[in-house]
DNA sequence: GTGGTCTAGACCACG
DNA sequence: GTGGTCTAGACCACG
């Protein structure tokens, strides 16, 4: 899986990487149990500091998406715990996006289509 | 319209206000042409710095949601320009949310239902 | 509240500080809504790096014990969410301690007394 | 006695094994004088490095829980020395746990019940 | 070799 | 002034 950083984005680097890994897991680009690059390898590859990658891995770990051990590095968790609910933050953010999309004149059907594409794809 | 700040949120205050005004316009709580409180009035009401509200209004203006003039203060624009497209940032953010929701085990139908609820109103 | 670091401890500095703040909140040494020292002030006072303190505050924030904002610094949360349960990790750790205490020949009554003292104190 | 490693735990493997053996001795799953598996046998059984098991046994020996000799391998000590006190580290850790449990809204009675269960059982 | 921790120092957005 | 992010570099325990 290729991870790309947008250096002009307002989203911090460690969060951009986190988001792309979460999306990779969701789409299946990253399989359950799959090895992630080592902290050092990913830092080198992206031209960033190891601390930044380390922060990403610790966040993903605390969120239950990955596990780390000193022997094998980081891996996607075999069974990610499913809360079954949409978090308050994600609901708020979704509402904001839908509002903006609606005001942009994009029809509901097109938005739904995109959501389905992301969900199924 | 009532604007509420979540002091536990990581989203900056000026952005929280901006988001709620945009959502207000989208839902119709704020009508086209409707007068917004003055910067000082809103700041006073919310117990925050006038600079913060000012930042919100400048952002909303630059985004084309409101217009300001010295005589009438700030008003919701009569005709908000409709790009007809979903911005790249909103697409990325939507994809992130959908990925997380999916990994949480929430069924697609439930997500779609929420999107429709937000879109319709 | 005085925070003391044991430099010979195996527990990382950021975790020692975190633990002492949590214990301070529990005992009432730190009141709900009370201001914590700024990241810089605490770092200076303890003779450690600001990054280390920052890590502590972010952990406490993610655990729901404190809140931070750029204007006011960090504060103990007014209402800490109560799960009502003992976490798996704490149960395991408690079991380990009780086992060791028991093997040391300490009577159950003495252990219970200490637990009560910590709980009520 | 069955020893299980939690690969998601932050506790090092050698320590997880150590803890389970100590708990086994405390509950009586491991009797005084009872033979432990050889380092190689246990390592093989658990699919881990012999060095890791070796570290566990050396720790247990230094703590006075087991004894080793070339002839008989490792055995649970007949008479484990009883300090009669709770170590400073265990007190600190216990206080931390009680603090967190208390802040979680778990009643004292429930905590005491659990401690008794672990002590007696 | 791996992730985890820490330092010294810097710059940034927010308010 | 505040917390948040990031770098370059270092050392450590675990396995």
Confidence of residue D1 (pLDDT cuts 50, 70, 90): confident
Q: What is the pLDDT of residues B9-24, one digit of tens each?
A: 999 999 999 999 999 9
Whether residue A121 is predicted with pLDDT greater than 90 in this model: the reply is no
> Does A120 contact B108 at a Cβ distance shorter than 8 Å?
yes
Confidence of residue A36 (pLDDT cuts 50, 70, 90): very high
> And the tokens for C58?
């972010």
Distance A38 CA to E2 C1' (A): 8
Q: What is the mean pLDDT of each run of 10 residues along chain C (121 residues)?
A: 93 98 97 96 97 98 93 93 97 98 98 98 84
Q: Tell if C58 CB is < 7 Å from nucleic strand E.
A: no
pLDDT cut 70: percent of chain D above it: 100
Q: Tell if C89 CB is < 7 Å from nucleic strand E.
A: no
Residue C4, pLDDT score: 95
Alpha carbon of residue A79 to chain centroid? 17
Whether residue A76 is predicted with pLDDT greater than 90 in this model: the reply is yes
**Nearest residue to A21 (alpha-carbon basis) of A87, A75, A82:** A75
Beta strands in chain A (DSSP E): 66-69, 73-76
Query: CB–CB of B45/B37 below 8 Å?
Result: yes
* C contacts of B8 (beta carbons < 8 Å): 67, 77
**Which residues have CB under 8 Å from A109's CB, separation 6+?**
none
Dihedral class, residue B73 (left if φ above 0, else alpha if ψ from -120 to 50, else beta):
left
Q: Phi/psi at D76 (nearest 5 deg)? A: -65, 135
Residue A42, pLDDT score: 97
Instruction: Calculate mean pLDDT across residues A76-85.
Output: 96
Distance between CA A4 and CA A13 in Å, rounded?
10
* A contacts of D16 (beta carbons < 8 Å): none
The CA angle B40-B41-B42, to the nearest 5 degrees, is: 95
CA-nearest residue to A97 within chain B is B90
Whether residue B1 is predicted with pLDDT greater than 90 in this model: the reply is no
Instruction: Calculate mean pLDDT across residues D20-27.
Output: 97
pLDDT cut 90: percent of chain D above it: 93
Query: CB–CB of B74/B36 below 8 Å?
Result: yes
Strand partners, D75: D35, D67
Q: Phi/psi at D95 (nearest 5 deg)? A: -65, -40
Does D have 3 or more CB contacts under 8 Å with B? no
Confidence of residue A69 (pLDDT cuts 50, 70, 90): confident
Distance between CA D34 and CA D60 in Å, rounded?
14
Alpha helices in chain D, H assignment, sequence order: 13-27, 39-46, 50-62, 88-103, 108-120
CB-to-strand F contacts below 7 angstroms: A 12-15, 47-52, 55, 69-71; C 36, 38-41, 50-51, 54, 57-58, 61, 68-71, 73-74; D 12-15, 48-49, 51-52, 55
> And the tokens for D43?
């390592």
Q: What is the pLDDT of residues D65-112, one digit of tens each?
A: 999 888 778 999 999 999 999 999 999 999 999 999 999 999 999 999
Residue A71, pLDDT score: 84
Confidence of residue A1 (pLDDT cuts 50, 70, 90): confident
Instruction: Calculate mean pLDDT across residues B31-38.
Output: 95
Instruction: Calculate mean pLDDT across residues B50-61.
Output: 97
Q: What is the mean pLDDT of chain B?
A: 95
Distance between CA C68 and CA C76 in Å, rounded?
9
Nucleotide nearest to D49 (CA to C1'): F15
Does A have 3 or more CB contacts under 8 Å with B? yes
Which chain F nucleotides are covered by protein, judged by CB under 7 A?
1-10, 13-15
* C contacts of D118 (beta carbons < 8 Å): 94-95, 98-99
**Which residues have CB under 8 Å from B91's CB, separation 6+?**
A114
**Cα distance from D49 to chain A (closest Cα, Å)?**
11
């Amino acid at each position: 899986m290729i991870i790309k950083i947008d250096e002009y984005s307002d989203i911090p680097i460690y969060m951009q990487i986190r988001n792309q890994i979460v999306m990779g897991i969701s789409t299946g680009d990253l399989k359950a149990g799959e090895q992630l690059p080592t902290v050092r390898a990913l830092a080198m590859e992206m031209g960033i500091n190891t601390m930044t990658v380390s922060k990403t891995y610790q966040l993903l770990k605390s969120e239950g998406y990955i596990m780390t051990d000193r022997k094998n590095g980081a891996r996607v968790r075999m069974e990610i715990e499913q809360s079954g609910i949409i978090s308050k933050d994600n609901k708020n953010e979704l509402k904001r996006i839908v509002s903006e999309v609606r005001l942009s004149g994009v029809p509901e059907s097109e938005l739904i289509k995109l959501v389905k594409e992301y969900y199924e794809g």
